Structure formats: C-alpha cells, structure tokens
C-alpha cells in the first residue's frame, strides 16, 4: 500500500468513515429482523407453594426475569442484536423452569437449588447488567435451601396457588 507523501492526504480517514457508515447501516438493517421484538408475558397460571416469603422474594429478585411470565423488558431488549440474546435467554429459561406455570412439568426444578448454590444461576453476565440479582453468599445459601424445600413440598405439576 502506498504511503501518503508530503502534500497528499492519507486515505485512512475516508476508509474509516466508510466503514463506520457501513456498520451503522448494518445496525439499522438488523432492527428489521423480527426475532426478539415480541415481548410477551403470558398470564400466570400457578406458582409453587413457597416455603417462605423470603424464598419467593429472592427468587423474584434473582430468577423471575427469565424463569417466570413476569419478565420486565428493559429498553435495550428492543435493540438487535441484544434483543435476540434477551429473547433467547427468556425463552430458554421459561422452557426449563417457569415459576408462573407450576402446574406443568419443569425440567430444571430438581437442579435449581444446586445451580444457585454452585453460582451457576443467575448467570454472571445477567448479574453484571442487573445489580439487584447479585446475591450475597448468605442470600445464595438461603435461596438454594428455600428452592429445595419449596420444590419438595410443592413439586411441579401439583396444584398450586
């Protein structure tokens, strides 16, 4: 590539400008992809019979965004490609464990307490974006024990309130 000589302007600023415009155009165009824009919260059918109000409060704080039909959809969840990731996480979370549809089988219910105890849930990237979901060690222990007790007394598929 020839270098700029004295008196000749460099072509890099122009190339960077074209690249920036192309990236901006791509970001605008991906907004047209429909996945991730339908934010639904189906009606709550049934919740578990919680072992304590404290367990439910911790679950609401750390789990309900992805594992219930009471998802709060922040503004960034409407902008692709972030909207795609948020929608995928909510869909996957609800498919594995949905506290709002307790009358149906829940694939991950038996493992939920252990996942919380081992700090696998809530995921780190979620906690970075949602400070309220960060649990102290004591809260993590309390939630893990509470989930285990709740699911023992109110197994998924049983009639709940």
* 119 within domain boundaries: yes
Count of structural domains within the chain: 1
* 79 within domain boundaries: yes
Per-residue model confidence (pLDDT) at position 120: 95
Question: What does the angle CA 146 – CA 102 – CA 98 come to, to the nearest 5 degrees?
Answer: 80
* 120 within domain boundaries: yes
* 70 within domain boundaries: yes
* 69 within domain boundaries: yes
Q: Is pLDDT above 80 for 75?
A: yes
Specify whether the CB–CB gap between 51 and 22 falls below 8 A. no
Residue range 9-49, pLDDT digits in tens: 788 888 888 888 888 887 777 777 766 677 889 999 999 99
* 24 within domain boundaries: no
Greater pLDDT, 55 or 157: 55
Q: Which domain holds residue 75?
A: 53-153
* 7 within domain boundaries: no
The mean pLDDT of the chain is 89
Helix axes 137-153, 109-117, angle to 10 degrees: 170
Residue range 45-73, pLDDT digits in tens: 999 999 999 999 999 999 999 999 999 99
Per-residue model confidence (pLDDT) at position 160: 45
* 77 within domain boundaries: yes
């Amino acid at each position: 590539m020839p270098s700029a000589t004295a008196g000749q302007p460099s072509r890099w600023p122009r190339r960077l400008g074209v690249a920036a415009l192309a990236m901006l155009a791509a970001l605008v165009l991906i907004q047209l992809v429909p996945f991730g824009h339908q934010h639904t919260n189906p009606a709550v059918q049934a919740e578990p019979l919680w072992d304590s109000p404290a367990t439910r409060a911790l679950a609401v704080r750390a789990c309900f965004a992805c594992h219930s039909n009471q998802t709060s959809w922040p503004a960034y969840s409407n902008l692709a490609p972030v909207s795609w990731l948020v929608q995928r996480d909510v869909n996957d979370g609800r498919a594995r464990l949905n506290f709002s549809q307790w009358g149906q089988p829940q694939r991950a219910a038996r493992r939920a307490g252990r996942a919380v105890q081992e700090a696998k849930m809530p995921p780190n990237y979620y906690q970075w974006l949602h400070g309220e979901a960060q649990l102290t060690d004591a809260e993590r222990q309390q939630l893990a024990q509470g989930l285990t007790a709740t699911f023992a007394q109110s197994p998924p598929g049983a009639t709940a309130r």
